[in-house]
Amino acid sequence: MKFRKLLPVLCLSLPLAVGLAGCDGKGWGGAAPSTFKGVDLTGANYARTLQLSDPDGRTRSLAEFKGKVVVVFFGYTQCPDVCPTTLAELAEVKRSLGADGERVQGVFVSVDPERDTAPLLKAYMASFDPSFVALRGSEDQTRAAAKEFKVFYAKVPGKTPETYTMDHTAASFIFDTQGRVRVFSRYGVGAQALADDIKALLAEK
């Protein structure tokens, strides 16, 4: 994996990959300092829509999860480190919240639809939390979804055509209960920082 390019994550790459103005702890557009542990995206004009198919072939969208805090992560099932770590941390946070965990929805978007078949995605989600939803689309649909979220991904050739890996943005997008993107949570911040931001959004009126 070539995540070393991504993981200085991302004061240098955020302006390009995510369209942020900087990593100074301020909200979108230079608002007052945020209380979020992640980057405050409140008011961002992207990551507004997501509509892809789940492993059962049903079209899913962000709108159906209103009333919950939604955590969206773009990755792939053969990812050796970033993806399973992120999903495991989210599952840990969801469990730690007790009853409030029912108001947290994990959404995993595959950037490798060529290999991430519906049965594989269903089994992959179940290994972390059965309530997590995996989404996949055609190459064009995947590209469009990544563009809407300003997510980077690219195939990295392996020793054989089947053993390629995927470089991709290593972060989660957290949406409030009204379906608005609010936080960009970098990989590596840890489960506690993720939990703090989710709790803050759950507590909003």
Q: Note the pLDDT tens digit of each residue in 154-189.
A: 999 999 999 999 999 999 999 999 999 999 999 999
pLDDT of residue 34: 73
pLDDT of residue 33: 58
Q: Which of 100, 97, 120, 99 minimizes the C-alpha distance to 110?
A: 120
Which regions of the chain are under pLDDT 50?
A: 1-28, 30-31
Task: Identify the burial level of 168 via C-beta atoms within 10 angstroms of its C-beta, where 0-12 means exposed, 13-18 middle and 19 or more buried.
Answer: buried
Q: Which domains does the chain have, with CATH numbers?
A: 3-203 (3.40.30.10)
Q: What is the pTM of this model?
A: 0.84
Phi-psi domain of 10 (left: phi exceeds 0; alpha: psi -120 through 50; beta: other): left
pLDDT of residue 22: 29
Whole-number CA gyration radius for the chain: 16
pLDDT of residue 13: 37
Q: Which residues contact 170 (CB under 8 A, 6 or more apart)?
A: 3, 6, 7, 9, 82, 86, 186, 187, 188
Residue at token pair 């599952």: 91
Q: Token pair of 28, please?
A: 């979108």
Distance CA 189, CA 58 (A): 33
Cα atoms found within 13 Å of the Cα of residue 81, Cβ hemisphere only: 11
pLDDT of residue 39: 96
Q: Which residues contact 39 (CB under 8 A, 6 or more apart)?
A: 14, 18, 20, 23, 183, 184, 185, 186
